[in-house]
């Protein structure tokens, strides 16, 4: 029977039966044993930043949300943009549109953007680095610390990416945080949606990278900073 129905007829039939076409995405349930405690702590920090809770003695006064964005490749990025009309509406004197180049190679390697959102100031900070390791993470954390007096307690919300953490072999993150009045607040595993920086990355990708073809990392980095 279905072989005799056109595509549009099938859509009408399914719609009458209360059926519509859906796109599905997968998602992971966090198995973090400390899920509730970590989630509660992050939400409490957001309440402080939003002015819903008064920061008590020993509580952070400044809240950052931090994560890495990338890798940043030198390649044509697909996207949508405003452009002159083509086809039969094209101006006959206008030059043809330039075609996007092929991307058989990735020249000059990749870069990574370390970015942070100051929730109190609603201001973004960012550094572009060739790698994203513990050393670069601590460099960026030190940069975030400098605008505020050493006596001001700050918190940095980030995910469980290994360079963000203190390990048995490397305790630099915890040692630096304890010595500089900094709390590193980790989101639960598979719960990066709790980090408010993620929404900023969506806008950054849409307004900065979509529809571009940068010739160099310097050019790309300049557009990201603007």
Examine residue 34 and state whether it is found in any structural domain, yes or no.
Answer: yes
Residues written for the chain: 226
Q: Cα–Cα distance between 63 and 3 in angstroms, integer?
A: 60
Q: Cα–Cα distance between 132 and 114 in angstroms, integer?
A: 8
Residue found by looking up tokens 């994203």 in the block? 132
| Cα–Cα separations (whole angstroms), residue 82 to 79, 85, 86, 93, 116 | 11, 9, 12, 19, 30
| CATH number of the domain that residue 176 is part of | 3.30.420
pLDDT confidence band for 3 (50 / 70 / 90): low
What does the pLDDT look like over 120-166, one tens digit per residue?
999 999 999 999 999 999 999 999 999 999 999 999 999 999 999 99
pLDDT confidence band for 4 (50 / 70 / 90): low
Examine residue 119 and state whether it is found in any structural domain, yes or no.
Answer: no
Mean pLDDT value across residues 70-94 = 77
Examine residue 88 and state whether it is found in any structural domain, yes or no.
Answer: no
Is pLDDT of 94 > 70? yes
What does the pLDDT look like over 5-64, one tens digit per residue?
666 777 777 778 777 777 777 777 889 999 999 999 999 999 999 999 888 888 999 999
Enclosing H/E stretch for 135? helix 134-145
What is the Cα Rg of the chain in Å?
Answer: 24
Residue found by looking up tokens 């870069």 in the block? 111
Q: Report the pLDDT value the prediction gives residue 64, as an integer from 0 to 100.
A: 98
Examine residue 161 and state whether it is found in any structural domain, yes or no.
Answer: yes
Percent of the chain with pLDDT over 90: 55
Examine residue 170 and state whether it is found in any structural domain, yes or no.
Answer: yes
Examine residue 224 and state whether it is found in any structural domain, yes or no.
Answer: no
Q: Report the pLDDT value the prediction gives residue 93, as an integer from 0 to 100.
A: 77
What residues make up the domain containing 30?
26-66+133-214
Mean pLDDT value across residues 86-109 = 72
Q: Cα–Cα distance between 153 and 155 in angstroms, integer?
A: 7
pLDDT confidence band for 77 (50 / 70 / 90): confident
Mean pLDDT value across residues 75-100 = 74
Examine residue 166 and state whether it is found in any structural domain, yes or no.
Answer: yes
Q: Report the pLDDT value the prediction gives residue 80, as an integer from 0 to 100.
A: 75
Does residue 118 contact residue 64 with C-beta atoms inside 8 Å? yes
Does residue 124 contact residue 200 with C-beta atoms inside 8 Å? yes
Q: Report the pLDDT value the prediction gives residue 96, as an integer from 0 to 100.
A: 72
Domain count, the chain: 1
Q: How high does pLDDT run on average in the chain? A: 87
DSSP 120: T
Does residue 184 contact residue 156 with C-beta atoms inside 8 Å? yes
Q: Report the pLDDT value the prediction gives residue 5, as an integer from 0 to 100.
A: 62
Q: Cα–Cα distance between 196 and 200 in angstroms, integer?
A: 8
Q: Cα–Cα distance between 39 and 55 in angstroms, integer?
A: 18
Examine residue 73 and state whether it is found in any structural domain, yes or no.
Answer: no
Mean pLDDT value across residues 179-205 = 93
């Amino acid at each position: 029977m279905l072989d005799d129905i056109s595509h549009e007829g099938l859509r009408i039939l399914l719609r009458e039966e209360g059926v519509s076409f859906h796109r599905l995405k997968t998602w992971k349930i966090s198995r973090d044993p400390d899920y509730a405690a970590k989630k509660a702590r992050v939400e409490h920090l957001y309440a402080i930043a939003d002015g819903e809770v008064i920061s008590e003695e020993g509580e952070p006064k400044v809240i950052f949300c931090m994560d890495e964005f990338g890798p940043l490749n030198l390649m044509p990025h697909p996207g949508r943009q405003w452009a002159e009309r083509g086809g039969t509406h094209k101006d006959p004197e206008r030059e043809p549109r330039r075609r996007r180049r092929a991307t058989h190679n990735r020249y000059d390697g990749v870069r990574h953007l370390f970015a942070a959102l100051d929730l109190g100031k609603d201001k973004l900070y960012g550094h572009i680095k060739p790698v994203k390791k513990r050393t670069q993470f601590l460099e960026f954390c030190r940069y975030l610390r400098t605008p505020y007096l050493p006596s001001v307690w700050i918190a940095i919300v980030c995910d469980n990416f290994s360079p963000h953490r203190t390990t048995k072999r490397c305790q630099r993150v915890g040692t630096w945080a304890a010595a500089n009045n900094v709390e590193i607040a980790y989101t639960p595993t598979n719960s990066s949606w709790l980090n408010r920086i993620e929404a900023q990355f969506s806008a950054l990708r849409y307004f900065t990278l979509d529809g571009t073809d940068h010739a160099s990392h310097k050019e790309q980095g300049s557009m990201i900073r603007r």
